[in-house]
Chains A and B, each alone.
Chain A
Amino acid sequence: MIVPNYLMHSDAARHEFDAYRVRRDFPILNQTVHGHPLVYLDNGATSQKPQCVIDAVNDYYCWNNANVHRGVHTLSERATHAYEQAREVVGRFINASHHHEIIFVRGTTEAINLVAQSYARPRLRPGDEILITEMEHHSNIVPWQIVCQQTGARLRVVPINDAGELQLDKYAELLGSRTRLVGVVHLSNSLGTINPVREIIDAAHARGIPVLVDGAQAVPHIPVDVQALGCDFYAFSGHKIYGPTGIGILYGKPDLLEAMEPYQGGGEMIRRVTFEESLYNVVPYKFEAGTPNIAGAIGLGTALEYLAQFGLEAVGEYEDALLARATEAVSDISGLRIIGTAAQKGGILSFVMDGVHPHDIGTILDTEGVAIRAGHHCTMPLMTRYGIPGTARASFAIYNTKEDVDALIRGIEKAREVFDR
């Protein structure tokens, strides 16, 4: 993958990644849970926030709070400036060609719904097809089901193999004359699989089919360059990348965004309104009806600048090392099976244990201060594919250490012990 210059040239990237130093930036980690130091391994669900992000949100409300793009007064100018600067930071972070390709939304879910309704819906005819994969999150399944019901289009699904890798030969077969859009997850939240999105996009583009990439889990862990990928849409959430909740990003290619209908109507997204008709604002404002989550956008911009200082290559390498340590350690635990063993994986370890339900593993780990996720991870069709009700999932972030991995392993061994007694 091509790494944006912006991400490669950070000074810190040249040094060894120091998670112990990083931990000091996250006040929430400095606490005990059930008498044990908190070990937070539920980063796939949401990440914790560094002090600088908390401060950015706080400062905005303490000093600069005003509505954006409206007032002539000083606070409004400051708020607008900070909000638009955040857009520029996001654009640089994923190497968009222009920051007007960056739309602020509530999260990945809203970004995908926006594309489904504003791009796909007016273009779909009965019998047309939307192609997604078996490992998608519900947020990259249900918006397409809704638009299929609205238009008579069909949802087709690329299968995976037992390791949790896409069957690319099947993908090639499913790309057909009726395929109108491909939706694919970059890094699977349940399996950790990193999909070959560049290859997937190239194959779709060879047939003139646009591709939406769900990057919710990918952006915190691997360098993403939307121009190098060539994707038409890229969606991600702020809260999984050390930013606030309720803010997310839709990147879109400018010609597609220009041609799309607005998603919601209201203030901000218009140029001129009469009772007869309304003239819409330009991209990206056309898609940002109503007063946006200004504090969230500013917090997200701060989070991305914070993360970028480490270099995403270094971050990815560090988290891969944690995953490798955990993967090796759990292989010694009897009756434990890893779900998701793709050759290309990011920092997610999903597993099941004979005779111990994932929920019970989660409860026992919690009593040891270790927070993981247990359940279907909003990927019910994927759980059905594996014939399991859910998995226990540990997901790593920049502030996790090898001691965290060791606490996880001790907790899993304890679960084994409780249920074997």
Chain B
Amino acid sequence: MTDLRELYEEVILDHNRNPRNYPKIPLGHNCEAHGFNPLCGDEFRIYLTVEDGIIQDAGFEGAGCAISTASASLMTEALKGMEVGRAEALFAEVHRLLTEEEQAGEPSEMLGKLTVLTGVKEYPMRVKCATLAWHTMHAALHQREKTICTE
């Protein structure tokens, strides 16, 4: 049960039950991308309003499991008001948090609340759930046309 509580943290359950910036298409959004995991059917569309290199607003639509939904919700919260370059750096940090076996030292401070995703690392089959929204955000910033797939 201890393990499970680490995966399904209070914060994750809360963001799954009441996702922030969802369902929302921000006014004047100028970046969007579609993310899909064909294995489990998780599917999100991420919308960003980027002005002067800063993500002014973020929102998402779609449906997925608790991990993917909470990750998307936490992400949109974190991105608002963030410089594009910093958002990319945050994506790299989240990726490291979820995939690197040995963490050198404490998790990066820029992760903040996102450290609740740490428990996902113990469930390799679920890492792709947690990263789906982030890969999709990355694609939105790069205006890739194709659907992003975490399989």
A residues apposed to B, CB below 8 Å: 34, 355-360, 363-364, 367, 374-376, 380, 383, 389-390, 418-419, 421
B43 & A363 in contact (Cβ 8 Å cutoff)? no
Query: How far is B40's CA from A358's CA once the two chains are assembled, in angstroms?
Result: 9
CB-CB nearest 8 A-B residue pairs:
A357-B65, A359-B65, A389-B41, A360-B66, A390-B41, A359-B40, A360-B65, A375-B40
Query: How far is B65's CA from A375's CA once the two chains are assembled, in angstroms?
Result: 11
Given contacts A34-B3, A383-B41, 16 further A-B contacts (CB under 8 A): A357-B66, A357-B69, A359-B129, A360-B65, A360-B66, A363-B7, A367-B4, A389-B41, A389-B64, A390-B40, A418-B4, A418-B5, A419-B8, A419-B13, A419-B66, A421-B13
Interface centre among B4, B13, B43 (most CB of A within 10 A): B4
CB contact under 8 A between A363 and B41, given known A357-B64, A419-B66: no
Complex interface: chain B residues within 8 A of A380 (CB): 41
B13 & A363 in contact (Cβ 8 Å cutoff)? no
Complex interface: chain A residues within 8 A of B5 (CB): 418
B41 & A375 in contact (Cβ 8 Å cutoff)? yes
A389 & B42 in contact (Cβ 8 Å cutoff)? yes
CB contact under 8 A between A374 and B40, given known A359-B129, A363-B125, A418-B4: yes
A389 & B66 in contact (Cβ 8 Å cutoff)? no
B43 & A389 in contact (Cβ 8 Å cutoff)? yes
> What's the nearest-Cβ distance from chain B to residue A250, in Å?
27
Q: Which of B2-51 contact A (CB under 8 A)?
A: 3-5, 7-8, 13, 17, 39-43
Could you name 14 residue pairs across A and B whose Cβ atoms are closer than 8 Å? A355-B17, A356-B66, A357-B69, A358-B65, A359-B42, A359-B67, A360-B65, A363-B7, A363-B126, A374-B40, A389-B63, A389-B64, A390-B40, A421-B13
Q: Mark B44-76, 1 if CB is under 8 A from A, else 0.
A: 000000000000000000011111010000000
Interface size on B, residues (CB 8 A): 22
Query: How far is B126's CA from A363's CA once the two chains are assembled, in angstroms?
Result: 8
Query: How far is B63's CA from A359's CA once the two chains are assembled, in angstroms?
Result: 12
Q: Mark B109-138, 1 if CB is under 8 A from A, else 0.
A: 000000000000001011001000000000
Interface centre among A34, A360, A364 (most CB of B within 10 A): A360
Complex interface: chain B residues within 8 A of A374 (CB): 40
Query: How far is B129's CA from A356's CA once the two chains are assembled, in angstroms?
Result: 15
> What's the nearest-Cβ distance from chain A to residue B94, in Å?
19
Q: Mark B61-99, 1 if CB is under 8 A from A, else 0.
A: 001111101000000000000000000000000000000
Complex interface: chain B residues within 8 A of A364 (CB): 4
> What's the nearest-Cβ distance from chain B to residue A29, in Å?
21
Residue of B nearest to A35 (CB): B3
Query: How far is B65's CA from A374's CA once the two chains are assembled, in angstroms?
Result: 11
A363 & B123 in contact (Cβ 8 Å cutoff)? yes
CB contact under 8 A between A359 and B8, given known A375-B39, A421-B13: no
> What's the nearest-Cβ distance from chain B to residue A365, in Å?
11
Complex interface: chain B residues within 8 A of A383 (CB): 41
> What's the nearest-Cβ distance from chain B to residue A225, in Å?
37
Query: How far is B5's CA from A155's CA once the two chains are assembled, in angstroms?
Result: 48
Residue of A nearest to B3 (CB): A367
Complex interface: chain A residues within 8 A of B42 (CB): 359, 389
Query: How far is B39's CA from A380's CA once the two chains are assembled, in angstroms?
Result: 11
Complex interface: chain A residues within 8 A of B69 (CB): 357
> What's the nearest-Cβ distance from chain A to residue B64, in Å?
7
Query: How far is B129's CA from A367's CA once the two chains are assembled, in angstroms?
Result: 18
Interface centre among B13, B41, B123, B126 (most CB of A within 10 A): B41
> What's the nearest-Cβ distance from chain A to residue B149, in Å?
15
Query: How far is B8's CA from A145's CA once the two chains are assembled, in angstroms?
Result: 41
A359 & B4 in contact (Cβ 8 Å cutoff)? no
Query: How far is B123's CA from A359's CA once the two chains are assembled, in angstroms?
Result: 12
Complex interface: chain B residues within 8 A of A419 (CB): 8, 13, 66
Query: How far is B69's CA from A389's CA once the two chains are assembled, in angstroms?
Result: 14
Query: How far is B19's CA from A355's CA once the two chains are assembled, in angstroms?
Result: 12
> What's the nearest-Cβ distance from chain A to residue B8, in Å?
5
Query: How far is B67's CA from A363's CA once the two chains are assembled, in angstroms?
Result: 11
> What's the nearest-Cβ distance from chain B to residue A165, in Å?
24
Complex interface: chain B residues within 8 A of A356 (CB): 66
Complex interface: chain A residues within 8 A of B64 (CB): 357, 389
Residue of B nearest to A418 (CB): B8
Query: How far is B125's CA from A358's CA once the two chains are assembled, in angstroms?
Result: 14
Residue of A nearest to B120 (CB): A363
Query: How far is B7's CA from A375's CA once the two chains are assembled, in angstroms?
Result: 20
> What's the nearest-Cβ distance from chain A to residue B55, in Å?
27
